[in-house]
Amino acid sequence: MENKKFGFTIMELLVVIMIICILSSISVPTLNSYIRKTHDAGRKLAIQTILLIVKADGGDQWRNEKYMYSVNDLEDIFNENDFNPPQGENDICYLVAMAHNSNSSLGNNNEFVVVTWGMVMSTINDNLAGPIIAGTTRFENAIKNSLITLNKNQAGILDAGDFSCDSLLFTDVITKLDSVISDNSDLDIAYYIGINKAAELVSIGEEYK
């Protein structure tokens, strides 16, 4: 009786290898995109949580103290709410800015905003990388409207490097935000607080409390 031999021809093996390569080239970028979107979703959740905590606490304060927080202030209210500040992932960290109406003394019409960077989606566009922003309505809208106008004029002002955890002073993003706010609103920046890679709050510039 003749023994039958089973196996694959070289052509069949090549076809299988080609199929695997094609599937890999499709799945890896898709997987990376999902991972980046997951990180961005985490960043959005983190700054929305900070927004809610600060608004809830600041709403009970007198006008001259409302939304004006030192590092210790923020640490205290975060602890009171069992909230751990977000760690910087993929070398992207966070910035909290406090501002007030430039036409009145410090303490009147105080505002704040939290800003970070989205790798594949942002507050400006869900399908493009850009800043993720959350804050009091006037401050948030001032930044968003300015950035939208700049992008339409093909002059994007912020980029991922501005939120690099390696730069604890956030020098570039502060300079750019100062320019955006001074040119497009009646707000003056009071001071900034950074959240670094180790999820530590870092004082930036002069504090008014």
Q: Are 162 and 93 in contact (CB under 8 A)?
A: no
The 10s digit of each residue's pLDDT in 65-116 is 788 888 898 999 999 999 999 888 888 889 898 888 766 555 557 888 999 9
Whether 135 is in a domain gets the answer yes
Whether 3 is in a domain gets the answer no
Whether 6 is in a domain gets the answer no
The 10s digit of each residue's pLDDT in 36-59 is 888 888 899 999 999 999 988 887
Between 197 and 21, the higher pLDDT residue? 197
Looking at the 3D structure of the chain, how many domains does it have?
Answer: 1
Whether 53 is in a domain gets the answer yes
Q: Are 105 and 129 in contact (CB under 8 A)?
A: no
pLDDT value for 20 = 76
Whether 4 is in a domain gets the answer no
Whole-number Å distance between alpha carbons of 73 and 69: 5
Whether 171 is in a domain gets the answer yes
Whether 209 is in a domain gets the answer no
